[in-house]
Amino acid sequence: MKNELVLKTLKEIRVFQDPYRQQIIKVYEQSNKPMTAKQVADILGETPSKVHYHVKVLEKFSFLVLSHTENINGIIARYMKIAYHNVKIQRSNDNKIKDEIYTMVENQFDKMKENYINRLKKLPVGKEHFRQNGSLKNGIVYLTEEQMYELVDYIEKLTKETKQYKGQEKYYGWDMFVSMIRIKKQGDKVK
């Protein structure tokens, strides 16, 4: 598995940020194991042919890779897996690429907001219930660039390491969305 996949073209960004393909990628990430398009389709409640088409597109652009094949009753089942740990977008002066990046960021924020509000609506009323079931924080943290990278690495490590506890009795899944952007100070040249 590659450590990171760098998106460089408008086509790569559009393929990656497609909402339906993001659902497929999320299933692979959450399963943490190779799966067939049929297995993904079952989880999504979709037709296998629709998922298969999008899995092929994701494979073509190296978002998914073939893990292995199995012969099941004379049919070759292709088990795919995520091909990267992180996705980054190469900086560009191309306005179309910038617009696509902004759209992708907006979609991520909108999806997280929707998920958060839907879960919040299901909580019992009262301060303690909110504290026991979630948290919402917003603020400015002052860190060196090195400390910021350490924090990001820690969060990524934590999300990977804790997947093993999924489904275990005393562990809960906590949907987390972290967004950090550097604040420009007067006289500061942002890279």
Q: Give the domains, in start order, of the chain with CATH numbers.
A: 2-87 (1.10.10.10), 91-165 (no CATH)
Share the mean pLDDT of the chain. 85
Enumerate the β-bridge partners of residue 75.
Answer: 72
Q: Which residue has the higher pLDDT, 120 or 20?
A: 20
Instruction: Note if the pTM is more than 0.85.
Output: no
Q: How far apart are CA 147 and CA 145, in angstroms?
A: 5
**Model confidence at 127, in pLDDT bands (50, 70, 90)?**
low
Residue-wise pLDDT tens digits, 25-41: 989 988 878 999 999 99
pLDDT at 85 over 60: yes
70 three-state secondary structure: strand
Predicted pLDDT at 130: 60
